[in-house]
Chains A and B, each alone.
Chain A
Amino acid sequence: MRTMPRHLSDIRNRRYKLYDSPRKPGASIKLKKDDIPHVTVIRPAKGLEPQLYECLACAFRQDYPVDKVTIYICVASQDDPAYQIAKKVVDDFPDHDAKVLVEEEDPLLHGQGGHVDNLGPNPKIRNISRAYREAKGDLIWILDCNVWVAKGVLGRMVDRLCGYQHNGKLAQPFKFVHHLPLVVDITDQEARATSAPEREQLLPSPSSGTHPIDSANDGGPFSTLGRAFANGGGRLDEMFFATTHAKFYAAINTVSVAPCIIGKSNMFRRSHLDACTDPALNPILSSSDASRPRGIDFFSSYICEDHLIGDLLWRSSSCLPGYAAGYRFRNHGLVYGDVCIQPMAGVSVGAYFARRARWLRVRKWTVLLATLVEPGVESLLCSFYFSFAVTTALGALLRHRSDGTPWASSWTAMFVIWLATVLAWAVLDWFVSHRLHEGRAIEADADSPRFARGTGRCGGMPRRTLREWIPAWIGREVLALPIWIWAVLLGTTVTWRGKRFRVHTNMRVVEIEARGTTGKRRSGLAAESRRTPETENGRARSKDRVD
């Protein structure tokens, strides 16, 4: 009897509407104490992200045995605005095994025996390198500082990674698990919740000058348009993550034909990553990789580290512990039903454009083919493809049966079909985005911040009206192609935390020398590393991040 491929049987067996109601607590937390895996939560932080305290605190509020969790919040320096918030969170949860790790105090990079050249320029990897080295237990959960997750997420993530089930049986474990990301634009909430002086007190930002929320609210003849441009970026990001991104992310991860991950909330085993990055163990690595450090540091000279980690784990099997004994792992597992939510405030349309362009430029050399065809999955262009195909086929068919050119093959017919397809697409997106933002699957409690309660609950965010939703949807769809053209066809540089870098085809990054610099162009890992401390001087609100 033929058996169905595993990912297809997953679809068949899975009850749909996984995002409709809160899921059960993880089976792993009901194991015998000694069997519960220890998890190290690593939170790279940079700058004052909106709702930073709540986002950092969510890791401490997990429904998981406290003595089985270690939390490391990683910042570049004590001058980073995130440092004080991180310290406060750690102080507020004294029962937890938690520490704030400062990159400037990392013995690998500074002090006796350390050297800044020991790691490449990737600021995120440099931030979390020490946390990875000092991790307790085998499971590593890298959770960005600017995302929030519900209290049961850790338990269910461990279930998915290790294969624990409520019936006591073990499913085949995964190498890597991750979450569907969502963005919630809280610009209006922040503007209402705090006056400007209060906000300045909460978010000391000496370099930022006027807050974008204030600058947009100062009236004037173009205040509405100005407000839209000054704060509309968050709404566009919210739309992107709840429509196109969510649909394709869920679909690609369900059929599981290729790695498709975003590095906001990822869990894997340290033993796996150490083995995969060791050329002596992993046959898919080349001899040139022998000079690179092991573990997470292996990716320090590269941009797009989240994809590279996932991709290497995806392609590596024989080097994993237990392989010789017949132990097998599935590749990547999306933890269905759970989401990680990034609150966003005061993001301009220009910042949205720049952020999306950076993502595309970084991805361009990582997944070239997917990037090249990407415009074709957007509504306006895909509907054009469809309407052109239909009218061409219909026109030919009808012309064959009658004399003359039928109306069905006219430009008017094509426009009508295009419009109908775009409208149908928008209606589908309306339902998908509202379903996700209702937050029915999120376990909300007294500790849940407003932005995470969903639009379907009392005390949650207001549901977007059609009048609010349509301009955001049209804006995102219209901007998709110009962003792609700008990012993919018209350049290879990215602005990364205040510095410009060229992304090479092998995904290594090299800083572009500032104008007027007469010094010889430096290259290679050592030279890149020497520049790294300068690249950390990003804006306080850190919207220059790639991640």
Chain B
Amino acid sequence: MLAEEPAIKILGCDSDELFIEELEIGRFGGWTASGRDMLSFVDVIALVWGVWSFAVFLVQGLGTFVL
């Protein structure tokens, strides 16, 4: 989650309605103002695969070090 960014982005006002762009913060697994999880399926896959491949690199590195 991007901590420096505003939690919501105000796009404009029309009478008493406030438009916000939820995806701006949902993209990195943050939470929207309404509390819905916006972590997309693609993000979850990327996260899991990223962690997995990093772990494999670590194990490989250890194996190479020992050898």
Question: Which residues of A line the B interface, CB within 8 A?
Answer: 11, 14, 16, 18-19, 246-252, 254-255, 336, 376-377, 382-383, 385-386, 388-390, 392-393, 396-397, 399-400, 428, 431-432, 435-436
Question: What B residues does A393 contact at CB under 8 A?
Answer: 46, 50
Q: Point out the residue from A11, A390, A396, A431 that lies within 8 Å of B27, measured CB to CB.
A: A396
Q: Flag B38-56 by CB within 8 Å of A: 1 or 0 each.
A: 0000110111011011101
Inter-chain contact B60/A428, CB cutoff 8 Å: yes
The answer for the CA separation of A383 and B56 in the assembled complex, in Å, is 10
CA distance A18 to B64 in the complex (A): 11
In the bound complex, what is the Cα–Cα distance between A298 and B15 (angstroms)? 81
Interface centre among B45, B50, B60 (most CB of A within 10 A): B60
Given contact pairs A251-B62, A392-B46, A393-B50, a sample of 13 additional A-B residue pairs in the complex whose CB atoms are under 8 Å apart = A11-B62, A14-B66, A16-B66, A18-B66, A247-B63, A336-B66, A382-B56, A383-B53, A386-B53, A388-B49, A389-B49, A399-B27, A432-B67
Are B67 and A19 in touch, CB under 8 angstroms? yes
B27 close to A400 (CB less than 8 A) = yes
**B17 at the A interface (CB under 8 A):** no
A contact patch SS: helix
- Please tell me if B28 contacts chain A, counting CB pairs below 8 Å: yes
Nearest A residue to B58 via CB reads A251
Q: How far is the CA of A431 from the CA of B63 in the complex (A)?
A: 13
* CB-based nearest A residue for B50: A389
B interface bracket (residues with beta carbon within 8 Å of A): 20 to 34
Q: Which residues of A contact B27 (CB under 8 A)?
A: 396, 399-400
CB-based contact B24/A255 at 8 Å: no
What residues of B have a CB within 8 angstroms of the CB of A436 in the complex? 67
Are A250 and B45 also in contact (CB < 8 A) when A376-B56, A382-B56 are? no
B-side interface mostly: helix
Q: Which residues of B contact A428 (CB under 8 A)?
A: 60, 64
- For B46, the closest partner residue in chain A by CB is A392
Considering the complex, give the chain A residue whose CB is closest to the CB of B54: A386
CB distance from B57 to the nearest CB of A (A): 8
For the complex, give the distance between the alpha carbons of A396 and B43 in Å: 9
List the A side residues contacting B65 at CB < 8 Å: 16
Ranked nearest first, the 5 interchain pairs of A and B with the lowest CB-CB distance are A389-B50, A247-B63, A251-B63, A385-B49, A392-B46
Residues of A within 8 A of B67 (CB): 18-19, 246-247, 250, 432, 435-436
Complex interface bits, B7-32 against A, C-beta within 8 A gives 1, otherwise 0: 00000000000000000100110000
- Asked whether A250 lies within 8 Å of B63 as measured between CB atoms, the reply is yes
Chain B residue numbers with a CB within 8 Å of A18 are: 66-67
Question: In the complex, are the beta carbons of A388 and B64 less than 8 A apart?
Answer: no
B59 touches A248 (CB 8 A): yes
Q: Write the nearest CB–CB distance from B61 to chain A, whole angstroms.
A: 8
Q: Which residues of B contact A383 (CB under 8 A)?
A: 53
Q: Kindly provide the distance from the CB of A88 to the nearest chain B CB, expressed in whole angstroms.
A: 36
The complex places the Cα of A399 from the Cα of B49 at a distance, in Å, of 21
Q: Across the interface, which residues of A come within 8 angstroms of B59, CB to CB?
A: 247-248, 251-252, 377
Given contacts A19-B67, A376-B56, A400-B27, contact A385 B62 (CB under 8 A): no
